[in-house]
Amino acid sequence: MKKTKESIKKNLMLVDVVYEVVDARIPISSQNPDIDDIIGEKPRIKILNKSDLADSRLNEEWQEYFNKKGIPSVLVDAVHNRGLREIYELTYELTEEKRKRLLTKGIKNRPIRVMIIGIPNVGKSTLINSLSKRKGAKVGNKPGVTKGNQWVKIKGDMELLDTPGILWPKFEDKNVGLNLALTGAIKDEILDIDTLAVKLVEKLNSISKDYLENRYGIEVEGKTPHDIVIEIGKKRGAIVSGGEVDFTRVSNIIIDEFRRGIIGRITLERPY
């Protein structure tokens, strides 16, 4: 971890802007707690990725929250190339001073350089691919860049480091760990799938009873999360030979449907 942090810091020195990618469904849980220290004064854009899976009203609330903190943010769906234009525009805005300074020094054609950082599974590689899709030509190796790294041309005079900086989340916090497991950011082994499903049901109902009621045609009022899982199992025919509910099978169904956004566009964390 120390080594990755150091290589990230080395690469940071080479770029003008950092794109910090988080999962829009859990903008706090999916960030590295030391992110401010790591990035320092470097201009940063908070990429709220997977915004297609997150609640659209809360997407806006989160954007407002970060903007108020002086951290410009963009709602992105890296799979479907949504939000890319906003990223470019913001990048130009944030680097205007820098470009002017370079020009007064007589430096022309110096590209704006960017790197992407974030915890695993937030969509860093997907974003790198979508940003470099059209312009995707590799740029020659530059001195100082961690060996093996390449710059790819993205928009106009912008270059992106093709290898993201990988940060680690804050596992120790129970709720953070749960949010990461539910969104699939960390391996399922951390919590067994049965427990995970029960916790998901509990969490979803605390946000809105409509999610599970509408998706599975059940009534959740007055029932324990455990009983709700069983009821969904019956509805879905996740039954073993004796007629009992196959708890693990239905747990997998619920978790999988949540992760794919089938239960709804759901944000697990709220600002403030």
Q: CB under 5 to 8 A by kind: which of Mg ion, ligand GDP, none does 78 bind?
A: ligand GDP
**In the complex, least distance from residue 240 CB atom to ligand GDP, rounded to whole angstroms:** 31
Interface stretch with Mg ion, choices 121-129, 145-153, 177-185, 216-224 (CB under 5 A):
121-129
The Cα 251–Cα 101 span in angstroms is 57
Amino acid at 60: E
Binding mask 75-114 for Mg ion (x = CB under 5 A): ----------------------------------------
**Site residues (vs ligand GDP, CB under 6 A):** 49-50, 52-53, 77-79, 118, 120-126
Interface stretch with Mg ion, choices 36-44, 84-92, 122-130, 145-153 (CB under 5 A):
122-130
Using alpha carbons, select from 125, 169, 182 the residue that is nearest to residue 31.
169
**In the complex, least distance from residue 128 CB atom to Mg ion, rounded to whole angstroms:** 8
Closest residue (Cβ) to Mg ion? 125
Residue (123 or 177) nearer to Mg ion, CB: 123
Interface stretch with Mg ion, choices 46-54, 123-131, 203-211, 262-270 (CB under 5 A):
123-131
Helix, strand, coil % in the chain, rounded to nearest 5: 45, 15, 45
138-139/44-49 β-pairing: unpaired
**In the complex, least distance from residue 203 CB atom to Mg ion, rounded to whole angstroms:** 27
Task: Write the CB contacts of 227 (distance below 8 Å, at least 6 apart in sequence).
Answer: none
- 8 Å CB contact between 23 and 122: yes
- 8 Å CB contact between 132 and 124: no
The DSSP secondary-structure symbol of 190 reads G
List residues near Mg ion by CB under 5 A. Answer: 125
